Amino acid sequence: MPTTLICTGPTFTNVISPALPTITNLRTMAFFGTSDDGNNGNRAPGGPAIAAVGTPVYDTNQANLGVQAGTTYVGLDTQNTRDATMLASGCTWMAVARISHVTPGSGVRGMVFGDYKVGGAGIVQSWQLNVNGQSKLDLCPGSAVRASITQLISPITNWHCYAMTYTGGAAGTFTAYDFTENGTTGVPVTYVASGQTAGAQSMHVGQVSASENITTQPIEHAWVMDAHSVLSLATMVGVYNWAKANLARRGITC
C-alpha cells in the first residue's frame, strides 16, 4: 500500500521587514544611493519617472540635493503635478532626509520636499516642508512658516522620517509629522488653508529654484514617497516602519 507524506507549511521566524501597507494612489516610491536597493528610480507601478534637476550626487545611501555651493540648485522632480484631480483627492508626501554637510544654526534651512513649476516661472501657493535651524521642522504652504515641530530627540543632522498631508480642495488642512520624534503619533502640527488651486508645479525633493527662497542649504535624501490620497495615521506609521526596516539594512537609522 503506498505511503502518503504530508509536509507542513514553513514557519518564518526571521522577518526582514514588516509588510508595506496598502497605499491608495501611490505615485512615487524611491530609495536613493548606490548600494543595495537604491536604484534612484520610481518603484511605484504606473508612476512617472523621476527627473533630475541639476546634477544630483549619489553616495552609498543617499542623494545629495538642495543648494550646492551657494548658487546651484539640485533636486529630484517626481513629475507628479498638482492638477485638478490631485488637488481634489489630497496627498501624502513622506521622505527620510537630513542635513549633515553644514553646521546647524539660525541661517541653515533645507527643503525636505515642495512643489514648484520646475523650469518655469511662478508658484501657485507653493507647498513646502523644511528643516530649520538646529532642531525644527517647518510646515510652509504659501512660502511662509505656518507651524513647526521642535525636534527634542534628534537634531536635523540626523535622519528623520518626515510626512505632510493635505486634505484636498480649495480649502483644506495641511498636517506635518516627524515619525522619528514619535513613531506612533508623528507629533503632528496643522494649518488650515484657503484659496488652494491646481497648477503646473510638481512635487520634488531638494530645492530646485532661487524662487524657493526659504531654504538655503544642501540636504540629503534616502527615501521618498508620494501618494495622491490622504493616508491615515495608522497607514503612515506602517509605511514608516516598513521604510525604517529597509533603510536599517543600509545603515540608516531614522
Q: Flag whether 119 is in a domain.
A: yes
Q: Flag whether 1 is in a domain.
A: no
Range of lowest pLDDT (47-61, 75-89, 106-120, 154-168): 106-120
Average pLDDT over the chain reads 89
| pLDDT at position 12 over 50 | no
CATH number of the domain that residue 194 is part of = 2.60.120.200
Q: Flag whether 8 is in a domain.
A: no
> What pLDDT, in 10s, does the model give residues 101-135?
877 777 788 999 999 877 665 566 789 999 998 89
**pLDDT bracket for residue 199 (50, 70, 90):** confident
Residues 117 and 79: their CA atoms lie apart, in Å, by 10
When divided into structural domains, the chain yields a total of 1
Q: Flag whether 101 is in a domain.
A: yes
**pLDDT bracket for residue 13 (50, 70, 90):** very low
Q: Flag whether 5 is in a domain.
A: no
Q: Flag whether 21 is in a domain.
A: no
Q: Flag whether 7 is in a domain.
A: no
Q: Flag whether 91 is in a domain.
A: yes
Expressed as residue numbers, the domain containing 210 is 26-248
> What pLDDT, in 10s, does the model give residues 165-194?
999 999 999 999 999 999 999 999 999 999
Q: Is 162:236 a contact under the CB 8 Å cutoff?
A: no
Residues 148 and 138: their CA atoms lie apart, in Å, by 4
